[in-house]
Chain A
Amino acid sequence: MHQLERVTNLLALLLSTRRHLTFDEIRNELKGQYPENLVAARAAFERDKAILRDEGIPISSEVQGGDKAGITGYRIDRSAYELGDLQLTGHEAAALRIAVSALRMGQSWGEEALWKVDMDSGSTARPQPVVQASLPVDQKLPTLHDAMSRLRVVSFTYNGRPRELEPFGLLARSGWWYLVGNDRSVDAMRTFRVDRISTEVVLLEGETFERPVDFDVRTSFPADLKELPDSIDVGGDIAKVRIDATDVNTVLGQYGPDSLVERHSDGSATFVIPCANVQAFEHWLLGFLDRAEVLEPTKLRQHVVEWLTALVRGVQA
């Protein structure tokens, strides 16, 4: 017998039963489907259960009493198994289909979810949205999202250190996913980049938390990494930068018209840009190569010159 057939039969049986069934009862109901050898049969049953649980099927187990005292019984509560009817209108279902098509996440999860929530759709045509976006995806995200939504404490390793975190929020910003929450190991708010979490995320059994009422993940840490202070003192937190005409629109798009200080006759312009984090600032600045130049503060300008001079000397040495 094919394993898929046996697993499907087991699922049908556990969904149909009104009481918990022991392994012996299951084996008896599914006559001839498990090996005769008891050890082999038990191993096959455990594999089947693991498949069902990995698929998110909620198998309830309960230790029996009476003449089956101490023996575990199994069943599946139909109400916990089934997705209810979402009562989506045609427009709402169509909007979801377009949304899933417009967002590339490198996974089939969205498509599989649509099959379930949009059972009424008879259309096989995939909508072709003219605007598409890619979202970075990480295998840890669904678990983090689930823990955050259900107010469950999680544990993982980050920068080589084990953490216990109350996950307050998840934010996708500038191509990365960030996790913000209260790190219980230091009892302080911390921000983690999800792709840098180096181990599996585990939900801690029975550990829950309360999210601060006024928490908003958008304002929980600076939108611009250049605003995060570092240990390099360059005499100010704002830099004046002259940008060539070719890149003026790029900077306007990044920082808005309020950052523009002066337009010059050759089309170039001077902007004010946050530089509290010198490393992040220089990373941004050097992306323009010789089409951008720091004017002020003088110490920052000198820092850029020293950085480049070290590169010239380092390679020549």
Chain B
Amino acid sequence: MAIGSVTPSKSPPGVRPALLLTLLVALLVLVCLLSLALGALAVPLDQVVAALTGGDVSSNVENVVWSVRGPRTAIGLTTGVAIGLGGTLMQALTRNPLADPGLLGVSAGASFGIVVSIVAFGISTLYGFIWFALLGAAAASVIVFVLGRMGRSGLTPVKLALAGIAVTSFLGSVTSAMVLMDVEALDRYRFWSAGSLAGLNGDVAVQILPFVVIGAALAFASAPALNSLALGDDVATSLGRNLALVRTQGVIAIMLLTGAAVAAIGPVVFIGLIVPHVARALAQSAGLGPDHRWLLPLSALIAPTLLILADILGRLIAKPTEVQAGVLIAFLGGPFFIMLVRRRKLAEV
């Protein structure tokens, strides 16, 4: 154990990390409540709680909380957890701080699936989009994974990253070609691609939940292996890790998590890029190293908080219209991220 090198802390080990987790959970709960309360019709927090616990509230409030904002918050929560975990996994697997969960071709595949569904099948409802997006995301990530594994050296981080970006560019090109040729398709596609939680009903959350649950289970199970992976391939192998197995597990988890999230709310992968950095910085300040057993839960808490926060702000700043959450995340997250980069001596991934 490294004792001497760590900055002396008055609290006994274990307390500060626990405190950090509690704080983040509390923050997430608060943000969820605010998400139910705020919007075109502001509902006082006590009424929100009453509506949730089946108390006595007007039917209007009950409708707003349960049918409009409830699903929206639930989707924000589910997709946020998914993207946060996906981002942390992606950066761990590629050992690249530039990696976002879309790097596996997931976003490009989902976009491609959606444009195909518009152009070839004339589908225009969000409910119909989702299956095509999921299919596209899954197909793209399987292709990236298979291509990245081919060749004698197997699945190295750089090959995975480059194969991902190559497939992403390929699909991106085909998608823009189709969109450029079909003005109607462009019209529907551009709203999805800005990334929004608005207008989704509860079915969407139910549709994506199984993917997210399985993905999250795989992610948490691979945490110890990711720690060995961070030490380099040779060390990880000598520690008894089966590299191919760890990477396959990680890629499947990313595919399920990010695919589901992107299919539901559009390519808001930036959140998956910044959240791991935030999680690492927080872990460092709590006296923890870059330990994935901590980084994964931290990311899973931070990402939905940010996503829902962006969604709430999007409802409030441009009343009566809304600004898409995807747009606001970059505008909230960008400066915050840059500040973080400037203030901390970030540990390289």
Partners in one complex: no
The chain B residues found within 8 Å of chain A, CB to CB, are none
